[in-house]
Amino acid sequence: MNEQIAEILKNFNLRITDCRTGTLDMFLERAAALSNADLEEKLGIDFDRVTIYRTLRTFLDKRHHPQSIG
């Protein structure tokens, strides 16, 4: 796991889960917006759509979206 991702999650008092680390990894890799299809393509094999949406909702609730990473 990427140390930067672990640090981000810890700073926002979030548990480190595979879905959260995978989602953050995608945001860190790309400078552009991600579509639902992009997320599902990478994460969908291991996580269902509801899990992915809950992860995104958690990030928004913590005010943790791509703009706050950099």
Can you give the residue range of the structural domain that contains 15?
A: 3-69
Entry pTM = 0.79
SS3 content of the chain, % helix, strand, coil (to 5): 65, 0, 35
Query: Cβ neighbours of residue 54 under 8 Å, at least 6 residues apart?
Result: none
Q: What is the pLDDT of residue 18?
A: 92
pLDDT tens-digit series, residues 3-45: 999 999 999 999 999 999 999 999 888 878 888 888 888 887 7
Neighbours of 50 (CB within 10 A): 8
Query: How far apart are the C-alpha atoms of 27 and 37, rounded to whole Å?
Result: 14
Burial class (CB in 10 A: 0-12, 13-18, 19+), 32: exposed
Q: Give the CATH number for residue 41.
A: 1.10.10.10
Domains in the chain, number: 1
pLDDT for 69 beyond 80: no
Q: What is the pLDDT of residue 68?
A: 52
